[in-house]
Structures are given as C-alpha cells and as structure tokens.
Amino acid sequence: MGGPIPSVDGFTSGVALLRGLIAGLLIAALQIAGGHASFEYQRTSLHGSELLATAVPVFLLPLALAWGWTWASDRWSGRSRQPLLLFTLGLVLSASSGFALEYLLFPPAAGASAGALIDHVALGVLFVVPVVAFAALLYWEYASGKVHASFGTLALGYLSGLLLALVLPTLAMGAVAGTAAGHSWQNPRARGAVSLLVVLLMLVAVFELPMAVAASASLPALP
C-alpha cells in the first residue's frame, strides 16, 4: 500500500510558509526599488535613496508580522504553533535577503565578491531576526492570555517602542510589531486602526525622534 495521505492541516499550514515567503520577498523587492528606482513625470520626479530603502522594511516588517501572526492565529485557532513558525520562517528568510539581492543586482564598481556577499547576508539576518524575536516574545504574552490588551499594557508596549528607538531601531520595530500583533489578536475590529498606528509610531520612533534628540543635543548650553 502507499504511504499516508497528507493531512489537510499539513497542506494548509504549508500555505503559511508560502505567505511568509511572499510577504518577505515583497518587502525585499520594495526595499531594492526604494534605493534604486527612478520616476519622472512632467515636473515631478522621484529618485531612490538610502533613506527610502531603509524606510521600506522599517514600516512593512512590523505590519507583516502583525498581519501574518494574527491571520495564522485566527486560521488555526488552538493549533497555530506550526503555521506561526512556518510563516515566520518564510518571512525571515525572504525579508532578510533584500540586502544580499541588492548587492548582487547593483554591485560596486570594483565588482562583487564572496566575502562582501556573506557580509550582506549577515547584515540582513541581523536586521530582521532581532525584530522578529522581540516581537514574538511580546506577541506570545498576548496570545497566551498572560497579558490583556488593556489601555495600560498597550500604552506601555507602544511607548516603549519609541524609547527603544534611541537605543536600537530594530528593538523599536520589535516592540511595536509584537504589541500591534497582540492588540490585533485580542481586538480584531481594531486591526485597521492598529495598522495606521504602527505606521505613525515607526515614523516617529525611527526617523523623527532620533533627529529631535540630535537637534536638541546640538543646541548651546544655557548660561
């Protein structure tokens, strides 16, 4: 007789891996486009820059984590551990590839090298993995019911993300992503508002707040 027939759960949980891969590849592609794309129409022109390329994963990675984790938790309620792991694995593998793909597609004038490629692969992993790990820690607290999405806990999670931006931006991304995922999981009707809040918080945490601190530090001391 033949082998066992694959279960529906095994097949559908594989969809989680595919969704993670697609989401991560979309982030990587937009990151590369943000750094190199050029658009001109009449008097309007838009050119890629390092800042725009950095902004893509800063905004989209927390959103992808919040959307993907709540989707997997809803889709496989009570048995979502494997789909969550598969989605996260796919997202990490593909999202972290953006730095290496950019290096291969737009190599320096001196040409690409294996050592530099390894450095770009490591850079992508070091950028994505801390975000995912910190976000997963926070989300697990909400998903397990240990922490409830009350005003106090949500404010602590979101505001701590702003403060962590002064230490390490990836920690800020993880704090906001994990809090947003837990918020969306416990309050499904608020998911649209949560997504908008994530965008606003990441704008302040990663770009506006550090610039404000740097500007204040450059002010002359009071007599």
Task: Report how many domains make up the chain.
Answer: 1
- Residue 222 in any domain: the answer is no
pLDDT of residue 74: 87
Place of tokens 């993907």: 68
76-116: pLDDT as tens digits: 877 788 899 999 999 999 999 999 999 998 888 777 888 89
CB 88 within 8 A of CB 20: yes
Please name which of 71, 103, 111, 84 lies closest in space to residue 17, comparing C-alpha atoms.
Answer: 84
- Residue 76 in any domain: the answer is yes
- Residue 221 in any domain: the answer is no
Among residues of the chain, what percentage have pLDDT more than 70?
Answer: 82
- Residue 157 in any domain: the answer is yes
| Structural domain of 173 | 8-36+45-215
Q: 147: phi > 0 → left, psi -120 to 50 → alpha, else beta; which?
A: beta
Query: Average per-residue pLDDT in the chain?
Result: 83
pTM of the model: 0.83
Among residues of the chain, what percentage have pLDDT more than 90?
Answer: 45
183 falls in which pLDDT band (50, 70, 90)?
very high
- Residue 86 in any domain: the answer is yes
CB 193 within 8 A of CB 151: no
